[in-house]
Every structure is written in C-alpha cells, then in structure tokens.
Amino acid sequence: MELELRDVSKHFGGIQALNGVSLRLSGSQLVGLIGPNGSGKTTLVNTISGIYKPDDGEIILNGEEIGRLKANEVTRRGVGRTFQVTRAFRRMTVMENMLVPALAVPSDRGHREIKERAREILSFLTIDHLRNDYARSLSGGQQKLLELGQLLMTDPDLLLLDEPFAGVHPKLMETIFEYITTVHAQGKSFIIISHDMSSIFTLSQRLVVLHYGDIIADGPPDIVKEDPAVIEAYLGEDEDD
C-alpha cells in the first residue's frame, strides 16, 4: 500500500479546514492522527475516503489519483473508514450490515463463503450472537465494533478509524485494541484519529499532528510528544479524555 497526499486543501465557506496537507504512507504503518478540536482531522479522513473532494492538491493511492473519485470507488480500491459517530445501517440486521460491503465490492468469494467470513469476523469482535438483531438495538460500542467488522468485509489495505475509542466501554476497548493489532499484523495500514492520548501513544508507530489544517509535527510518538509546536498547539485546549 502506498498513499501520498500532495498539498491537499479543503475549505468550507470561509473556513480553511485543510491547508495544503502533504503526507506519505507506505508499507504497513500504524499512524495516529491527533490535533486539537477543529484541526481538520475528520476532514482529512473524509477527503481521503472520497466523501469530500479536495479543492486543491492530489491524493495518490498505489500510483493512481483518487482525489476525484466517489466514496464507493475509493472503497473499492482498498480504503475502509469508520465514522466518528457510528453510521451502521440501523434498521438492518447485523448480518445484513456485514453483507452490504461484501456484496458491493466485487470479489471472487461465493455467497456461503461471504457469510462464513462475516460470522468469523463477528465472532472475533464478540458480537456474533447479535447477528440477527437490528443494528439500532446494539449499544454504541457494539455499533463501533460492527463498523470495524464491515471494513474487513472489503479486504482493505488502508483503514481509517475516526475516534474508535470514544465513548466505548473498557471491555469493548480491549476488543478494539486487539482488532487493530491483529489486522495491522496482517500487513494492513491504519490512520487512527483519537483524542485518547494514552491509547494512541501505545498503539501508533508514527504520530501526525494537525493544527488549523496544517501538519505541525510528524514522527515517532516520543519525539512528537516533546515538540514545542505541539505543546503550544495543545496549550489552553481542554483535553477531552
């Protein structure tokens, strides 16, 4: 997997959400994306995943410019994402939720194989027993697990997780940790947005810090932590977690 952002900009009305962001990601990395509220983290994930089109700049995935593609086309090219506020299909069962991405993205798996795989993933995420329940009857944390499960159904190479730990019960948190480390060990890359500093420091090999739409630091967590610009950016900011 090779992802490169070149001078990506995005603004809404007068607000500059991304200000010429450049970023390279190759091989199998686990990147933490942090920054104060409103620094453009979710906008960045939305732009990579095709929900937004960048105003300027290029997004290149494995040699192909994907900045103009629709979200479903980006997903087909091996990028999966979760949403900050979960967006599982509420009035569909858990199993149906898993089938949507599996059937939407072409693969050579048969129907039976797809269902088996869905159950395997659901078991791994500890929610297999809920597979015939409507997604809306799941707890917030379980819906997060379901979204993580949906991602794996399309075999992505790059997973973009938006606040995977926010508001999750500690018990489910462990499952999410295990998910990330296991999937990462299979050679997949992650970009994880989080306000949960201790989790993100433990997990990631590389931290990227956004501030008012600019990348102000990028490097190993230990070094970034000491960066004066980062400390400055976070000063006066109420830490959520």
Q: What residues line the site for another protein (CB under 8 A)?
A: 12-13, 49-51, 70-72, 75-76, 81, 83, 87-93, 95-96, 99-101, 103-105, 111, 130, 132-134, 136-139, 142, 150, 154, 169, 171-172
Q: Can you tell me the distance from the alpha carbon of 166 to that of 151, in angstroms, rounded to the nearest whole number?
A: 18
Asked whether the beta carbons of 192 and 144 are under 8 A apart, the reply is no
Distances (CA, A) of 94 to 75, 89, 97, 111: 20, 8, 5, 16
C-alpha distances out from residue 144 to 24, 210, 240, Å: 27, 24, 19
- At its nearest, how many Å lie between another protein and the CB of residue 227? 33
Distance in angstroms (rounded) separating the CA atoms of residues 192 and 41: 10
CB of 68 to another protein, least distance (A): 15
Nearer to another protein by Cβ, of 72 and 198: the residue is 72
Query: Which tokens hold the place of 137?
Result: 């009857």
Q: Which is nearer to another protein, 44 or 88 (CB)?
A: 88
CB 189 → another protein: shortest distance, Å?
Answer: 17
Q: How far is the CB of 96 from another protein (least distance, A)?
A: 6
Closer residue to another protein in complex, CB, 51/60? 51
